[in-house]
Amino acid sequence: MPPSPPPAKLSVSFAHGQQFHATLSQGQPGPPGPAGPPGVTVSSQNDLTATYAADTVYQNPYPHAIYVLTSWQLNGKASMVAMCDANNPPSTPIAEIAEPVGGTGMTAPLTLLVLPGYYYVFAVMSGTPALVHWIEYH
């Protein structure tokens, strides 16, 4: 086994005049810990713009999480909320987008990470937002 590195000295001075000093030592490495969960692998990208719509509840049918990326033209004073949970319909708000007062229309993203079996909806809260893109990665 290689020797341990020499201790590191740490000194911190605070604005009000106090100081903190410490010596940090590193011992020999321990045994490896348990393996963590597998990482997320994206294997497909589906453009659902032509078939999906606001205010419709969808469910993640996959045994892994999916990433849903949407973008919306807010058309002045429009607002939306993304909701997602295990209930149908979902009622947990995750993210919102809204046009500022006096806005003349802007495009904004609204995204979700949807757990396996969970339901999700992009709900219109006000105005008439128009879907620009709906892409799902899984």
pTM for the model: 0.70
Is residue 129 a part of any domain in this protein?
A: yes
Is residue 9 a part of any domain in this protein?
A: no
Is residue 102 a part of any domain in this protein?
A: yes
Round to whole Å and give the CA distance between 106 and 75. 6
Q: Give the CATH number of the domain where residue 112 resides.
A: 2.60.120.40
Range of the domain at 112: 45-137
Question: How many other β-carbons are positioned within 10 Å of the β-carbon of residue 116?
Answer: 12
- Kindly report the average pLDDT of the chain as a whole number: 84
Is residue 18 a part of any domain in this protein?
A: no
* Overall domain count for the chain: 1
Summarize pLDDT for 41-89 with one digit per residue, the tens. Answer: 677 899 999 999 999 999 999 999 999 999 999 987 889 999 999 999 9
Q: What's the one-letter identity of residue 61? A: P
